[in-house]
Amino acid sequence: MPVARKGRSLFALMAAVPAFAHPVLPATAAPAPRRVVSMNLCTDQMAMLVAAPGQLHSVSFLAADPVSSVMAPQAGRYAVNHGQAEEIFLMQPDLVLAGTYTTGATVDLLRRLGIRVEQFAPENSFDDIRASLRRMGDVLGQPQRAEQLIADLDGRLAAVKVGDHADMTAAIYYANNYTSGSGTLIDDVMTKAGLVNIATKFGFAGLERLPLELLVLSDPDLLVTADRDYSAPALAQQGFEHPAFRAQAALSGAVDLASRYTICGAPFTVEAVRLLWQGADARKAAPK
């Protein structure tokens, strides 16, 4: 159940494109595309950052959802698509941006219709973010804008005073008791904030279930929650209301991390690092 695990993040990714990426062709020689359609939340946001005015025609409907998208306000300026081949074809794009995790059928269909499709893998680290930005700059013919964004990102990362919280442990807890282990973006975010991810102590890699019992037993210094911010209720969020969880949250410092900062890796992911760093700082000031 990859969707359940990643919760909103994978859900968002899946709402757009195909599984088997064609080998990425260097996109240098071609002239800059003039009518770009993005059908994946992450490519939506990155394209909005990198594209020149007028170059990006449409983004996916998720880009306008403030829960998942950091750039929801900007998304209003573009046409909306729902990741379906027919509507995208009718937009007559000269480039389609998609993720690697969504319906292969749609991408294959678009390619057969002669449309160029570029697929982007989800970013699992800040290195991935830099690579994606660089590639986005290349396919959109805006390499300078991409380099500018990368420099910006590095500057803001450097501003976080790593080392202040040496040995402080943290656990990220998503809906349905999932946590992120090594090799995930949130793990890198924790490292950049100077925290030790408790999931890596259990040897977890990627998304794994962390039973409530084990969370209580591991007693992290900082309990980071995500996926809490939905208007409609679901059982998935009931875990956050469990008496044992609440008791642990009261013992640990608690930070609620809006999932939109980490669903997609992008320059704004630095905000997540800053929030965790801030939480750890507050925790240090008021220990158990």
Q: Which residues bind another protein (CB under 8 A)?
A: 1, 3-4, 7-8, 11, 175-177, 208-209, 211-214, 216-217, 219, 227, 230-239, 241-244, 247-248
For the CB of residue 204, give the shortest distance to another protein in the complex, in Å.
10
For the CB of residue 237, give the shortest distance to another protein in the complex, in Å.
7
Contact 208, 187 (CB under 8 A): no
Which residues 6+ apart lie within 8 Å of 188 measured at CB?
124, 125, 126
Give the C-alpha separation, 60 to 209, whole Å: 30
31 versus 233: smaller Cβ distance to another protein: 233
Contact 109, 87 (CB under 8 A): no
41 versus 140: smaller Cβ distance to another protein: 41
133 versus 207: smaller Cβ distance to another protein: 207
Give the C-alpha separation, 225 to 207, whole Å: 14
Maximum Cα–Cα distance across the chain: 61
- Single-letter residue type at 164: D
For the CB of residue 49, give the shortest distance to another protein in the complex, in Å.
24
For the CB of residue 272, give the shortest distance to another protein in the complex, in Å.
20
69 versus 125: smaller Cβ distance to another protein: 69
